[in-house]
Chains A and B, each alone.
Chain A
Amino acid sequence: DAGVIQSPRHEVTEMGQEVTLRCKPISGHNSLFWYRQTMMRGLELLIYFNNNVPIDDSGMPEDRFSAKMPNASFSTLKIQPSEPRDSAVYFCASSLQGPLYEQYFGPGTRLTVT
């Protein structure tokens, strides 16, 4: 199995631009998680989906952030417009069924907003 796949691995963009991060979970996993990691705030859960349905989006910072999961094998996290404070590593993870199961993390996307 290829594991969780994220793209791009690195993204540098200017403030105000739209950023789209992509994730392909492990085949057969029913849950997908988006995290953000910074030195100051650590690893934070942004949103998680179960069977393509958002279960908890309380961690989404504000309306500039949105996430979709149109099918079981693909999810996007969009930031529009981006701001310098959004600079972080964004991880996608998947699990068999919800947070009670081991989560497998993708390699992450390092986002820099200038």
Chain B
Amino acid sequence: GQNIDQPTEMTATEGAIVQINCTYQTSGFNGLFWYQQHAGEAPTFLSYNVLDGLEEKGRFSSFLSRSKGYSYLLLKELQMKDSASYLCAYDNYGQNFVFGPGTRLSVLP
């Protein structure tokens, strides 16, 4: 079976750091993606983790633990424009692609 879960909503303050978690259960797994989606717009790619560990890309970092079925997206120095939904997704050996329900992040001044 396939299962992927994220918190529904999070709130943080401008300039702060926030961590968005994603847990998954699947019989097949290649890698874990993170996408950002602003309200009324299409998703855009943020990161892709295949190996365990932390991948850093500017203010955004993504972590993966394959053995624990766990990933997180870390956003530093939050800006108002970071208010959006963040979706994790995994690839099932190229046969399928499953998105999580998304976490709606609100950044407050």
In the complex, chain B residues 7-45 whose Cβ is within 8 Å of any chain A Cβ: 30-31, 41-45
In the complex, chain A residues 16-72 whose Cβ is within 8 Å of any chain B Cβ: 33, 42-45, 48, 55-56, 58-59
Say yes or no for B99: interface residue by CB 8 A criterion. yes
Contact of A56 among B42, B48, B96, B102 (CB under 8 A): B96
Q: Is the CB of A58 within 8 A of B96?
A: yes
Contact of A100 among B30, B43, B101 (CB under 8 A): B30
Say yes or no for B91: interface residue by CB 8 A criterion. yes
CB-based nearest B residue for A107: B42
Contact of A105 among B31, B44, B48, B98 (CB under 8 A): B44
Q: Number of residues in A with C-beta < 8 Å to the partner?
A: 21
CA–CA, A104 to B81, complex, Å?
A: 20
Known: A100-B30, A100-B31, A102-B48. A33 touches B42 (CB 8 A): no
Q: Is the CB of B99 within 8 A of A45?
A: yes
CA–CA, A99 to B31, complex, Å?
A: 10
Chain A residues with Cβ below 8 Å from B43 are 43, 91, 103, 105
CA–CA, A100 to B48, complex, Å?
A: 9
Say yes or no for B107: interface residue by CB 8 A criterion. no
Per-residue interface assignment for chain B, residues 69 to 97, with 1 indicating a CB less than 8 Å from any chain A CB and 0 otherwise: 00000000000000000010001001111
Q: Is the CB of B42 within 8 A of A105?
A: yes
CB distance from B62 to the nearest CB of A (A): 13
Contact of A42 among B42, B45, B100 (CB under 8 A): B100
Chain A residues with Cβ below 8 Å from B91 are 99-100
Q: Is the CB of B95 within 8 A of A43?
A: no
Give the top 4 A-B pairs by smallest Cβ distance, nearest first: A105-B42, A99-B97, A102-B45, A43-B99
